[in-house]
Amino acid sequence: MKGTFRMLDKYISDNNKGLVRRLLSENFKTQAPWYAIAIVAMLTIAGMTSASAWIIRDIVNETVVSKDLDKVLKVAGIVALIFTLKGIAAYTQDVFLNKAGNNIIARSQSRIYAHILKQDMAFYTRFPSSELLMRLTTNAQAARQVIDLLVTSFVRDLFSLIGLIAVMVIQQPVLSLVSFIVGPAAIIGIRTLTKRVRRIMEAELLSLGKIIENVQETANGIRVIKAFSLENEMQARMQAHVSDVERRANSIARLEAASSPIMETLSGFAIAIVTALNAIWVLKGGHSPGELVSFIAALLLAYDPAKRLARMRVSLESGLIGVRKMYELMDAPLTLTESEKAIDLAPGPGEVRFDKVHFGYQDGQPIFDGLDLRFEAGKTTALVGASGSGKSSIINLVMRLYDPQSGSVTIDGQDLKAVTFRSLRERISYVGQDTYLFSGTIRHNIALGRANATEEDIIAAAKAANAHDFIMQLPQGYDSDVGENGGKLSGGQKQRLTIARAMLRNAEILILDEATSALDSVSETLIREAMARLTAGRTTIIIAHRLSTVTQADTIMVLDKGKVVETGPQAELLSREGPYRRLYELQLLPDAGPPA
């Protein structure tokens, strides 16, 4: 292994060495048996390739010169053996190299995915989904390609080349010298292409990411695109990215293609010179024609491995760009982690408190500056306040999607930082504004609320959420497919499904982010009923936008610029000329009118 690394050093630019070292040490060990078999096969290929050049001398000398039948048959037998062995070795190499490679991809993908699942919300703002997709697919494959390239180059190609050079030197020592002068000259030419290809390749990957991003945005925002007739604009944006990729792909192709003809032409010259010189030599006597043909065969056979080795650096550098991006993701530090001494959150009534909480998403931009709060167990608290006042930030902290910079968030007196994620999340239900549904059936989407829920539990939850009736009207009932992000359901139906999911979870603490979108009054009545059942007896924190929601809450908490400016029941707050009174008059959404 050490020797391989030293050999690598000459081939790889400084900033990529560590990367290759890591790639090999992380993947080689686990795949060692498969690579060992593939390497034996490659050595066999290298040996047989050289042998096939060597045997040509005997073919020519025995069949053309000596014409001894016994010897000719022996040579024929050896030729058959050489090519059979080579065939078997080629098959073995392919199978085992693939086996190891596919496993490397699979393992990398699982590893990356497990890592990104543990990441906090800030991570997902930093890496958009298109970027994650690229890194999990294309870049994981690059890891495999780089390893394949290294193994085939340093084992099969290098040893083939060494073997063939040995054949050349033994058959025609002087003439070999000529080839060795021309060969390296070509390699130097190729190397100058490396750097340019790498730069273009990096830009290419970036543009590719943009294309994916554009398609994703189209799929997610198709309503807006259609409603605002943004088709032309989107098309133009796409066109720009697509043309970028096209142009760069052409540049890369041009540069890469240039390396072949350079080698080809030089080899042609080399062979021509060698042939001419050799012919003179043989005519002068002393050498058999078999030696000449064997030499030329070895020279021709050496062309391919030599070409691949010369181009290896170009291919390697471009593959390593993908590998670097993959590792960047794998190494993204986990900022929000479970304490090593984390214990399960002990059951309790579900009182949530903030004590001197200092929090900001970015350094130097505090959102909360010593915030103290208390959400009473079993009661409903409505959070109201202007946009940007910190409502969502509060629920982010309660769910521990972020940690405060100082101070503490506690549930029944237990600091969230000291408890296991699992036990914390088990105690909390969340119904968001965006009613996110996963692709799959209705049953599956409700069942996500609790592991191993029975069919009865699911139906009971759906009934309580006023969802059972509409589900039964669907052709396939609970087995109906919801479509991507619930695309086949109405807004009100989706909301009722997410309520059913929360109902099934049956947690003491309920966090609700009320939808701002208006629903028709029938739908709204159904949802309000379902909500009333859901919130009964739970500690409920609700970001309220509607007057009716606020009116039903036990306590109202008014936020302004990250501070609680007023708190108390609605009647009390309305009796003062305070901030709530102003919000009440200006901001809260009225309810839909009575059913028509």
Ligand X SMILES: Nc1ncnc2c1ncn2[C@@H]1O[C@H](COP(=O)(O)OP(=O)(O)OP(=O)(O)O)[C@@H](O)[C@H]1O
| Amino acid at position 55, single letter | I
- Least Cβ distance, residue 391 to ligand X (angstroms): 3
Contact partner, 367, from Mg ion, ligand X, none, Cβ < 5-8 Å per class: ligand X
Residue 486, Ramachandran bin (φ over 0: left; ψ between -120 and 50: alpha; else beta): left
Contact partner, 452, from ligand X, Mg ion, none, Cβ < 5-8 Å per class: none
Considering only residues 229, 387, 452, 473, which one is a binding residue for ligand X as defined by CB under 6 A?
387
Among residues 316 and 367, whose Cβ is nearest to ligand X?
367
Among residues 426 and 514, whose Cβ is nearest to Mg ion?
514
Among residues 198 and 391, whose Cβ is nearest to ligand X?
391
**Sole window of 24-32, 78-86, 384-392, 447-455 interacting with ligand X (rule: CB under 6 A):** 384-392
Outline where 12-157 has alpha helix (H).
Answer: 14-28, 32-59, 69-117, 121-126, 129-136, 138-151
Contact 155, 46 (CB under 8 A): yes
Q: Determine the residue with CB nearest Mg ion.
A: 392
Please, which of residues 421-480 interact with Mg ion by CB under 5 A? Answer: none
Does residue 390 bind ligand X (CB under 6 A)? yes
Phi, psi at 525, each rounded to 5°: -65, -45
- Least Cβ distance, residue 392 to Mg ion (angstroms): 3
Among residues 385 and 486, whose Cβ is nearest to ligand X?
385
Does residue 393 bind ligand X (CB under 6 A)? yes
32-59 and 69-117 helices cross at what angle (nearest 10)?
160
Which of 129, 197, 559, 500 lies closest to 372, judged by CA? 559
Q: Name the β-bridge partners of 319.
A: none
Q: How far apart are CA 556 and CA 540, in angstroms?
A: 12
- Least Cβ distance, residue 390 to ligand X (angstroms): 4
The dihedral formed by the CA atoms of 144, 147, 151 and 154, expressed in degrees to the nearest 10? 140
Q: How far apart are CA 459 and CA 131, in angstroms?
A: 39
- Least Cβ distance, residue 390 to Mg ion (angstroms): 9
Contact partner, 393, from Mg ion, ligand X, none, Cβ < 5-8 Å per class: ligand X
521-535 and 491-505 helices cross at what angle (nearest 10)?
10
Q: Name the β-bridge partners of 357.
A: 371
- Least Cβ distance, residue 256 to Mg ion (angstroms): 50
Does residue 385 bind ligand X (CB under 6 A)? yes
**Sole window of 169-177, 231-239, 262-270, 383-391 interacting with ligand X (rule: CB under 6 A):** 383-391
Among residues 388 and 477, whose Cβ is nearest to Mg ion?
388
Contact partner, 232, from ligand X, Mg ion, none, Cβ < 5-8 Å per class: none
512: part of which helix (H) or strand (E)?
strand 509-513
- Least Cβ distance, residue 495 to ligand X (angstroms): 18
Among residues 269 and 361, whose Cβ is nearest to ligand X?
361
- Least Cβ distance, residue 520 to Mg ion (angstroms): 24
**Sole window of 159-167, 178-186, 380-388, 485-493 interacting with ligand X (rule: CB under 6 A):** 380-388
94 to 133: interface string for ligand X, x by CB under 6 A: -------------------------------x--------
Residue 489 per-residue DSSP state: S
Does residue 388 bind ligand X (CB under 6 A)? yes
Does residue 392 bind ligand X (CB under 6 A)? yes
Which of 86, 87, 92, 91 lies closest to 34, judged by CA? 92
Does residue 361 bind ligand X (CB under 6 A)? yes
Q: How far apart are CA 172 and CA 194, in angstroms?
A: 34
Look up residue 36 and give its two tokens. Answer: 């060992």
For residue 265, CA distances in Å to 254, 261, 268, 306, 346 come to 17, 6, 5, 14, 77
Q: How far apart are CA 331 and CA 187, in angstroms?
A: 36
DSSP secondary structure string for all residues of 256-307: HHHHHHHHHHHHHHHHHHHHHHHHHHHHHSSS-HHHHHHHHHHHHHHHHHHH
Can you say how many angstroms the Cα of residue 93 is from the centroid of all Cα atoms in its chain?
29
- Least Cβ distance, residue 349 to Mg ion (angstroms): 27
Beta strands of 449-503 (E only): which ranges? none
**Sole window of 72-80, 130-138, 198-206, 361-369 interacting with ligand X (rule: CB under 6 A):** 361-369
438 to 457: interface string for ligand X, x by CB under 6 A: --------------------
**Helices first, then strands: H and E counts in the chain:** 22, 10
Contact partner, 210, from Mg ion, ligand X, none, Cβ < 5-8 Å per class: none
Contact partner, 275, from ligand X, Mg ion, none, Cβ < 5-8 Å per class: none
Considering only residues 392, 408, 521, 552, which one is a binding residue for Mg ion as defined by CB under 5 A?
392
- Least Cβ distance, residue 218 to ligand X (angstroms): 24
- Least Cβ distance, residue 389 to ligand X (angstroms): 4
Contact partner, 492, from Mg ion, ligand X, none, Cβ < 5-8 Å per class: none
Among residues 326 and 559, whose Cβ is nearest to Mg ion?
559
Does residue 288 bind Mg ion (CB under 5 A)? no
Does residue 567 bind Mg ion (CB under 5 A)? no
Q: What is the 3-state secondary structure (H, E, C) of 383-417?
A: EEECCCCCHHHHHHHHCCCCCCCEEEEEECCEEHH
Considering only residues 241, 391, 501, 505, which one is a binding residue for ligand X as defined by CB under 6 A?
391
Burial of 202 (0-12, 13-18, 19+ CB in 10 A): middle
Considering only residues 345, 367, 447, 534, which one is a binding residue for ligand X as defined by CB under 6 A?
367
Kindly tell me the sign of the dihedral angle through the C-alpha atoms of 381, 384, 390, 396: positive
Count interface residues toward Mg ion (CB under 5 A): 1
- Least Cβ distance, residue 441 to ligand X (angstroms): 32
Look up residue 310 and give its two tokens. Answer: 């010369």
Residues that bind ligand X (CB under 6 A): 125, 361-362, 367, 385, 387-393
**Residues contributing to the site for Mg ion (CB under 5 A):** 392
